[in-house]
Amino acid sequence: MTFRPAKAKVGVLVSGRGSNLQALLDAAADPAFPAEIGLVLSNVPGVYALERAARAGVPTRVIEHKDFASRDAFDAAMDAALREAGVEIVCLAGFMRLLSAGFVSGWAGRMLNIHPALLPSFKGLHTHRRAIEAGVKLHGCTVHLVTPELDDGPILAQAAVPVLASDDEDSLAARVLAEEHRIYPLALRLLVEGRVRVDGNRAVVDAPGPGEGIRNPEM
């Protein structure tokens, strides 16, 4: 009998429709994928991402940020929910809240974000409009490890698309989104398989070696 190690359990933080969540759910449905989605947590009730998770049979939680007096208190509640669910890796998928330094520190090296631009360019919001206004010829998306600085941290994967003369914000966003759906599961696989080595602010992708990986063999 072939031994199959347990899959890494992933928690996904969402605030909206959850198209990148769907990409992760679809990837995790493959028996060969090394991670499973163990919890989808939203700070907004009733969003479509929660419906996507329910359809996939994934547990969901809603923790509304407005119910807490401070960002630290809200983040502590999220942290407790993730750990209670046995989550080992956190993925941000359209989560529209800034995270406290304490929360980020607690998941250092184990939290991914996807940003709709080729970082370090166009950090923050309205990336597609700003790319068109800047006249760049290439735009895209980035998956990176989360650090306390906004849209910063070692980059695991990027994908580029051309910016066409006929593009408006919506057409460019749609082309970038297709690439987001492709590279987010790829970056998660790299992290889970222990193929990411952080050197300063650089993420170097290595071939996996014996015993490597983010997972504790005793977990």
**Cα–Cα distance for residue pair 190/118, rounded to 1 Å:** 19
Q: Going by DSSP bridges, is the β-strand pair 8-14/202-205 parallel, antiparallel, or unpaired?
A: unpaired
Pick the catalytic residue from 65, 115, 128, 181. Answer: 115
Q: Which three-class secondary structure state does DSSP give residue 74? A: helix
Q: How many angstroms separate the CA atoms of 29 and 142, rounded?
A: 23
Does the annotation mark 139 as catalytic? no
Strands 155-162 and 138-145: antiparallel
The conformational region for residue 5 under phi > 0 = left, psi -120 to 50 = alpha, else beta, is beta
Catalytic residues: 115
